[in-house]
Structure 1
Amino acid sequence: MSETTTNQRTDALRQELRETSWIERKYHRSLELNKNRPALGESIPNECYTEEFVKSKAQILKKKPLRLKEYQHLQNAFLQSEENINAFLSVDNALHALVRELSGCNPDLQLAAANCCCNLALGNSKACNVLAKAAGPYLLATLDSLNYNLMDICIWTIGNLAAGSEKAFEIVYAQGCLRLLISLLRECDLTLLPSVIYATMHCVYAGYEHIQDSEIVHVTKAIVCRQSHYHDPNTLWLLAILSSKSTCVEHILILLSSLIEYLHNATKSEFSDVVQVTAVVRILANVICETTGEAVDALFNNPKHTETETQLLLNKLLMQPHLHLQKETLWLIGNLYNHPSLRHREQARSLICTLSSLRQAALSTGASL
């Protein structure tokens, strides 16, 4: 696998995450609000908020804390539209007033302010950069808190900042966010783990070119130790990013049998979880060309599955209507075909020649055989 080709696949991964990032962040923020509703108070559905409403609340906030219900209105307004986010940030010192409550001593106001910050981080890159500078140190300070509700929201906010702007990531990275996230990955309570994985995934994606290899390895070791969560989509995409780093491959190998088993099981539902399946195929494609042949053996010489079952798996992946999944499968097959080990290369080519769906998938995606 050439360095140019590897870079192209990395760029493709970054583009996929970039295109879906804002939708995913907004969707998960809605879930997070619902999950934490007992702590947040009564939901306020079917409200329409204007920029004038947001500015009026920002002006009040500059002078004194809002009532809790007003914070709920404000956070919902941020979730409703980017224009409302920009309206709030256009009011001088409004953000500093919000950070005042985040860094204060009242836990209810801290949580309310954190929720507002989390939704502000759904804004454009400029909004994320401003928020990272103003609130970053206080968000990170909560990661040592015993208030799990507050920690959860602040971790999500860090993830949203990294997803929204590489510059915002660089700001919180310089403040030590990745070191704290790695520590949480290793030992945090299971209730916090999905949020930690979400934030780590977006930080690793945003900082792919900046993070030191030693830190990337620490992230990999930490996530591998949380094997029980490997079916989580964010975990799989984090592993997909990590697997494109050669320094991480040996640590991911321990998960390979479980991931291959996941793919075999997914054939029974016709790969209905296409997001997870795509990530697993990406991981497998990146890891399969490691030089020892351990990854190829896990796929082809698996005691749980016959060669015919492996052939069926690859054919079904090639037959999927999703072009991106077909491309990932072709990438996997190409790496198998060119494996550095002669024995494993010959075994792979022998099976590849029997794939009845290969030519059609190549034609559909414009790939050359």
Structure 2
Amino acid sequence: MLSTSEPKIRELKRNELRWERQLHRKTDLDINRAGLGEMLREVQDIENLSCAEIKGLASRIKRRKHADAKDLLKLSYGFQQSAENISEFIRITGAINVIVKVFTGSDSDLQQLAAECLCNLSLGDEVCCEKVAMFAGTYLITFIETVNNTRLTCTCVWTLQNMISSGAKAAKVLHSQGSVARFCHLLKTTRNNDQLLAEIFTTIDLILDYGLLFISQETIVVDIIPTASSSTPSLSGIRIIYKSLFLTNFETLDRNTLHDILNNCIGYLKTELGSGYYAERILAIRILGNLIAKNDRSLCEAFLAGCQKNDILLSSLFNSHSEAGEIAICRELLWFYGNLFGTANETDMQKYLKRDNFVENLIVPRAMLN
């Protein structure tokens, strides 16, 4: 699972997560700031903080052993503005302890602002994230399950995601604090909170990027795959299924789980072209192709029956992508069809071909013939 391109891929994913959340977190901070009244007059000061000002703030809260709402808001914005601001803060030994002290305190408003500080602080480099994990990791992990506040819980999860995606150093610290076990438990027990479940899926996805470094095959087979395959289909969910199966060599699955995965993947094959599920469809095809090649003919029979039940024509599926010039997915489909044709029971295959002779009806893109 690990490769020389892994750090680059993880950094791209980390940047994607960061920009996706930045506007959301800034809106949250604006809501908090608006509630403070007098701070509305200081917008420009808050949103244009230099390294020197961050250093001064860090030294002051360290000396006072406390940070008020204004301090926390300024630091949050400062951390968002530049990596240099984050590095400057981290250099002040003891400053992060003050943020953690407020974060674990009894004032819920200050607690949320401190959580935002930690979240934006975790946008720093691997060394910074390792330090945040050491000082705040156990609290962040505990709060996910014990705090009855979705907003605070999601902020904690985002912070953990940032640290996990920063590199193996911070991920190792968090693993030693029980983060993987906690997220696997939450994956199985979270109900009626789609927002939190989606964030848990994303976190498991990031952990799986390290292969089996922080997670065992047993945990993958017993906890992750069955839960992900029986949950509402999503991009994070199907990515987890694919990565998990890759790590188990597409084996060691019970029959019920196999059919849950099958139904999950078929759902993406029946979505209309241009519906925005391109990535999910590619992953679904790869999962199906590997499972069919690895398992007995009964899975092929179940797949073909699923196609009939959902009115899926394999020739139409291929030809629609062919006409759209989507060469990559056409190659995936040809590989998948080859596995299906080579594994399926001849009787089942002939029965399907009477309904949809995809072997003869495929319109292969000219670019694939050159």
User: Which TM-score band (shorter chain)?
Assistant: 0.7 to 0.9
For the residue of structure 1 that corresponds to 2:188, the secondary structure is helix
Higher mean displacement: 273-282 or 154-163: 273-282
Distance across 1 between alignment mates of 2:363 and 2:227: 40
Distance 1:334 1:11 in 2: 28
CA distance in 2, matches of 1:121, 1:329: 40
Q: Which residue of 2 aligns with 1:61?
A: 61
Tell me, yes or no, if the aligned pair for 1:124 and 1:164 is still in contact at 8 Å. yes
Which of 356, 360, 364 is residue 357 of structure 1 equivalent to?
A: 364
The reply on whether 1:257 has 2:252 as its aligned counterpart is no
Q: Which amino acid aligns with 2:118?
A: C
Q: Could you tell me how far 1:172 is from its partner in structure 2?
A: 1.0
DSSP-derived class of the 2:49 partner? coil
The counterpart of 1:192, out of the listed 182, 192, 196, is 196
Q: What is the letter of the counterpart of residue 28 of structure 1?
A: E
The residue number in structure 2 matching 1:73 is 74
Summarize deviations over 1:83-125 as a string: whole Å, max 9, x none. 2222221222222222222233332222222212222222222
Partner letter of residue 158 of structure 2? W
Residues 345 and 124 of structure 1: is their aligned pair in 2 closer, same or farther, counting only changes over 3 Å? farther
Give the C-alpha shift of residue 29 in structure 1.
Answer: 2.1
Q: Which residue of 2 aligns with 1:21?
A: 13
The corresponding residue for 1:3 is none
State the AA in 2 paired with 1:219.
I
Provide the rounded CA distance (Å) in 2 between the counterparts of 1:342 and 1:40. 63
Q: Which segment drifts farther, 245-254 or 124-133?
A: 245-254
Q: What is the CA distance between 1:126 and its match in structure 2? A: 2.0
Match of 2:169 in 1: 167
Secondary structure of the residue aligned to 1:266 is coil
Q: Distance in 2 between matches of 1:331 and 1:16?
A: 28
Mapped partners of 2:290, 2:5: distance in 1:
12
Give 3-state SS (helix, strand or coil) of 2:293's partner.
coil
Change (3 A) 1:294 1:174: farther
Q: CA deviation at 1:175?
A: 1.3
For 2:217 and 2:111, locate their aligned partners in 1 and report how far apart those are by CA, in whole Å.
35
Give the structure 1 partner of residue 281 of structure 2. 277
Structure 2 gaps of 5+ residues are: 35-39
Q: Could you state the TM-score of these two structures normalised by the residue count of structure 2? A: 0.78
TM-score by length of 1: 0.79
Report deviation, 1:334: 5.6
Query: Aligned residue for 1:52?
Result: 52
Structure 2 match to 1:147? 148
The 2-side partners of 1:97 and 1:324 are apart by 52
Q: CA deviation at 1:208?
A: 3.5
Assess, with a 3 A threshold, how the Cα gap between structure 1 residues 68 and 180 changes in structure 2: closer, same or farther: same
Call closer, same or farther: CA 1:182–1:61 in 2, change over 3 Å. Answer: same
Query: Quick check: 1:169–1:207 contact (8 Å CA) kept in 2?
Result: no
Shift of residue 326, structure 1, vs aligned partner: 5.3
**In structure 1, C-alpha distance between the alignment counterparts of 2:129 and 2:369, rounded to whole Å:** 41
Q: Which residue type is aligned with residue 197 of structure 2?
A: L
User: Cα offset for 1:259?
Assistant: 2.6
Spell out the pairing of 1:206-285 with structure 2 (5 A cutoff). Answer: 206-217=210-221, 218-225=223-230, 227-228=231-232, 230-231=233-234, 233-244=235-246, 245=248, 246-247=250-251, 249-250=253-254, 251-267=257-273, 270-285=274-289
Taking the aligned partners of 1:318 and 1:208, their CA distance within structure 2 comes to 37
Q: Which amino acid aligns with 1:47?
A: E
Q: Which amino acid aligns with 1:146?
A: V
Q: Which residue of 1 aligns with 2:37?
A: none
2:183 to 181, 185, 191: 181
Q: Deviations over 1:195-219 (max 9, x none)?
A: 2222222122235344111111212
Distance in 2 separating the partners of 1:243 and 1:255: 10
- How many residues were matched structurally? 348
Identity %: 22
Could you tell me how far apart the structure 1 residues matched to 2:300 and 2:7 are? Answer: 28
Following TM superposition, by how much is the alpha carbon of 1:313 offset from its aligned partner in structure 2, in angstroms?
Answer: 1.1
* 8 Å CA contact 2:188, 2:227 repeated in 1: yes
> CA distance change for structure 1 residues 135 and 285 in 2, over 3 Å: closer, same or farther?
farther
Distance, in Å, in 1 between the alignment partners of 2:4 and 2:245 is 14
Partner of 2:271, secondary structure, is helix
Residue 21 of structure 1: CA displacement? 1.0
Matched, 1:314 2:318: yes
Max radius of gyration: which structure? 2
**How far does the alpha carbon of each residue in 1:210-247 deviate from its partner, in whole angstroms, 9 at most, with x for none?**
4111111212223334x22x22x222222221231234
Inter-partner Cα distance in structure 2 for 1:150 and 1:362 = 54
Query: Measured at CA, do residues 261 and 150 of structure 1 come closer, stay the same or move farther in structure 2, by a change above 3 Å?
Result: closer
Distance in structure 2 (CA, Å) of the matches to 1:13 and 1:324: 20
How large is the RMSD of aligned CA atoms in angstroms? 3.6
Query: What is the aligned partner in structure 2 of residue 367 from structure 1?
Result: none
Other-structure match for 1:96: 97
